[in-house]
Amino acid sequence: MSLQVRTQVSLKPYNSFAVEAQASHFAEAQNDQQVREALAYAQAQQLPVLVLGGGSNLLLTADVQALVLRMGSRGIRLLSDDGEHVVIEAEAGEPWHPFVLWTLAQGLAGLENLSLIPGTVGAAPVQNIGAYGVELKDVFVGLTALDRRTGELHELTLHDCDFAYRDSLFKRENGHWLILRVRFALSRKATLHLDYGPVRQWLTEQGIAAPTALNVSQAICAIRSEKLPDPAVLGNAGSFFKNPLVSAEQAQRLRIEHADLVAYPQANGEVKLAAGWLIERAGWKGFREGDAGVHRLQALVLVNYGSATGSQLLALAQRIQADIKQRFAVDLEIEPNLL
């Protein structure tokens, strides 16, 4: 077997919260064959399998009695190009932000609003990652996934993946599919999304009147760097809570009490509230207890100041959820996967 399986491996280097946890078994797959070898090994050893990308959307609250399979496959391919519209395929193990930068370097637009999101290409569809008015589904063509129950490869379409806000088929059917490759529809003619958050303001301040996709990426990198901590410096998983969706009536009631409520009407009549605003208004911004805390610049981000455990971070998150429920009658949903 070409796959190397190690035992009792620390997962601290493999999760962006830098939480200490041990994996009873650990392997890294560089290709489809090694993925199959890993699944066969786990079956023979009667071990569950935890598939790991960049570990940037994960909170480990205990040691992992499983085969932790880290996806390490690399490769980017051009599948079609009609001069304006381009389809690109990337392997699951490709780091997300370098992949976005590669597409921009080729003169391709579409992923610029998703710049500087941590993680890997293969993990992106699971969460239907999104930022600054764009979601992965907006540029998604399809993907190749392994059915872990049958060992068969399947080509899944946009419709098959059933994407929703920070949600997908893969999140709801955890343990069923293993994503191997993802395909994206990009364009040489940019249709820019500038009106979500302070993107347009940053471009104006820089004197950029006719922005390119690369300019938008630069703006978003600058904005994210200002308000979001670097996981390499301070352990975190980015936004810890989803922006909650409420009825228009509930949003109106909240706005009567809080004139500065940050809210975004949705096409279906619901209203998306800014979870960070709710948490900050409740006084949690900058809160710290031991090494578990809420970031001082962004209330939506929980941080590990050094030696916080996953259980301590989860306990803090649950206290915040309870407080927001009591104050605003709004349920906050945790965004990272809990293990």
Question: Out of 37, 91, 94, 335, which one is annotated catalytic?
Answer: 335
Q: What's the CA gap between 203 and 140, in Å, rounded?
A: 27
CA-wise closest residue to 299 among 214, 241, 220, 212 = 241
DSSP 134-164: EEGGGGEEEEEEEETTT--EEEEEHHHHT-B
327 φψ region: left (φ > 0), alpha (ψ -120 to 50), beta (else): alpha
Question: Out of 73, 168, 217, 239, which one is annotated catalytic?
Answer: 239
Question: Out of 70, 166, 183, 281, which one is annotated catalytic?
Answer: 166
Instruction: Please confirm, yes or no, whether 56 is among the known catalytic residues.
Output: no
Instruction: Please confirm, yes or no, whether 224 is among the known catalytic residues.
Output: no
Are 56 and 19 a contacting pair, CB within 8 Å? Answer: no
Q: What's the CA gap between 182 and 173, in Å, rounded?
A: 18
Instruction: Please confirm, yes or no, whether 37 is among the known catalytic residues.
Output: no
Q: Which helix (H) or strand (E) holds 334?
A: none
The Cβ of residue 27 has, within 10 Å, a number of other Cβ atoms equal to 23
Q: What's the CA gap between 196 and 261, in Å, rounded?
A: 16
Question: Which residues belong to the active site?
Answer: 166, 239, 335
